[in-house]
Amino acid sequence: MKKNNIQTEFLKISTAIQRNKYISAISGGLGSLMALTIIGSIFTLINSIQISAYQDFLVKIGIKSYLSLPLNLTTNLFSVYAAFAIAYNLAQQFDQDGFTAGTLSLMSFLIVTPLVTLENGYTMAIPFSWLGSMGLFVAMVIAIVSARLYVFILEKGIYIKMPNGVPPIIEKSFAALTPGFFITIIMLVVKAIFAATSYGNIHSCIFTLIQVPLQNIGSSFPALLVIMVLMSLFWFFGIHGSMVVYSVISPVLMPLMLENLAAYQAGEKLPHLITVQCLNFAGVGGSGATIGLVVAMLFSKSKRYKTLGRLAILPSICGINEPVIFGTPIVLNMTFLIPFIVAPATLFTLGYVLTIIGIMPPLNGATVPTGTPIFFNGFLMGGWQFTVFQVIACIISYFVYLPFFKKADAEAYAMEQQAEVVE
């Protein structure tokens, strides 16, 4: 009885969070960008197939550089699109013009994003470093703040009112002037404040503050287990967990990987059980070990998840799971928070234990290109034993995600049935 009461209270809290306009705006905004992530993922796979003859063919016919453009202009600009989409969704929930809110949010995001001066001394450019996943958290905050300010000012009637008979598009443009000026001034102040600090800009500040708790993390099992949890939590809140974690632990763990590689090439015993490669224990299908979730989607009742599963299965096999993270979405989705943490933590623990007791050899330090399919990348890094481990990991991931996915799938299926009845 007590357990049921706890579950009921948790469901109430979860439902309240899901119905929150701000969280709904973030989820809806990210979900609306699913097409971009899928397009970028597919072209990444096409461009990164590690077959020498294939790569030589792409270079020879001159399309290698063109195939990288979809990734650079979709995933690597994801925060730009998110700044618009989230603000658009939030403004619509307050019955205001979403397009105008989106453009003001996009402008605000670009204002707080640092510019660099090129070598000629007068040409300014915006670096890609903060426009992709690393800038997503700032994009979310800016979108919510700017859109809410836009809605607040309009609701208070503080805008230029046009006489009757003026075309709606002109009326909306003039109505946006007042909130636009307020938002621009606020964003300029924010930019100036952070420019006066040692961080230089809001992006660098947030990135650095996230790094601080991780500065002293070593290469022990408890530390890396904490890293697994933190990585999932960062992703849950829309922060590129892999990017943040790798930037901190690489200086500590990368030398260990190189020592293992040197020993492997020399035919000697591998000196280190834990290197940066050990994060691959929990990486089947990408961050959060979501390959099991994608497989579950393939057998879902709802058309929504079945379609997403079919679209995401190939990228997931290659460790690219942005379509799942942003298309489900997993970001700020309480339904999948527990499995998104438990699955990678369980797999990392299992991989570590199997290595300690000698069933699986330490990973050899070989660098495997991003996008290499699971099972094949496992064979390259740890031989047939690691490939077998990845097969087992996929099965574990499936059963960890399954009960949570069934709940989400049932809700989606019920909504689809209701929509068909209404039609």
Domain co-membership, 143 together with 221: no
**Last residue of a domain, which of 182, 210, 238?**
210
Residue 385 three-state SS: helix
Domain co-membership, 262 together with 401: yes
Q: How far apart are CA 313 and CA 236, in angstroms?
A: 21
The angle formed by the CA atoms of residues 9, 340 and 311, to the nearest 5 degrees, is 115
In this prediction the pTM is 0.64
What pLDDT is attached to residue 41?
67
Tally of residues, the chain: 423
The angle formed by the CA atoms of residues 198, 199 and 200, to the nearest 5 degrees, is 95
Say if residue 255 is preceded by a cis peptide, omega within 30 of 0.
no
Domain co-membership, 305 together with 381: yes
**Residue 125 phi, psi (nearest 5):** -145, 155
What pLDDT is attached to residue 53?
86
Q: How far apart are CA 150 and CA 317, in angstroms?
A: 42
Confirm whether 227 is domain-assigned: yes
Domain co-membership, 258 together with 201: no
Say if residue 251 is preceded by a cis peptide, omega within 30 of 0.
no
Confirm whether 22 is domain-assigned: no
Q: In the chain, how many domains are there?
A: 2
Per the structure, the complete domain to which residue 116 belongs is given by 78-210
The dihedral over CA atoms of 25, 29, 31, 36, expressed in degrees to the nearest 10, equals -170
Q: How far apart are CA 333 and CA 235, in angstroms?
A: 11
Buried b (16+ CB within 10 A) or exposed e, 157-178: eebeeeeeeeeeeebebebbeb
**Last residue of a domain, which of 188, 210, 232?**
210
What pLDDT is attached to residue 399?
94
| Residue tagged 């809605």 (tokens) | 151
Residue 57 one-letter amino acid: F
What pLDDT is attached to residue 8?
56
CB 82 within 8 Å of CB 143: yes
Confirm whether 344 is domain-assigned: yes
Domain co-membership, 178 together with 270: no
Q: Tell me how far apart the terminal alpha carbons of the chain are, to the nearest angstrom.
A: 41
Please report which residue ranges of 237-336 form alpha helices under DSSP H.
241-265, 291-298, 303-317, 322-327
Q: How far apart are CA 7 and CA 19, in angstroms?
A: 18
What pLDDT is attached to residue 1?
47
Confirm whether 60 is domain-assigned: no
Which segments in the chain show pLDDT lower than 70?
1-19, 41, 45, 48-50, 162-168, 210-219, 243-244, 246-255, 258, 262, 265-267, 366-367, 369-370, 421-423
Residue 409 one-letter amino acid: D
CA torsion sign, 325 to 328 to 329 to 333?
negative
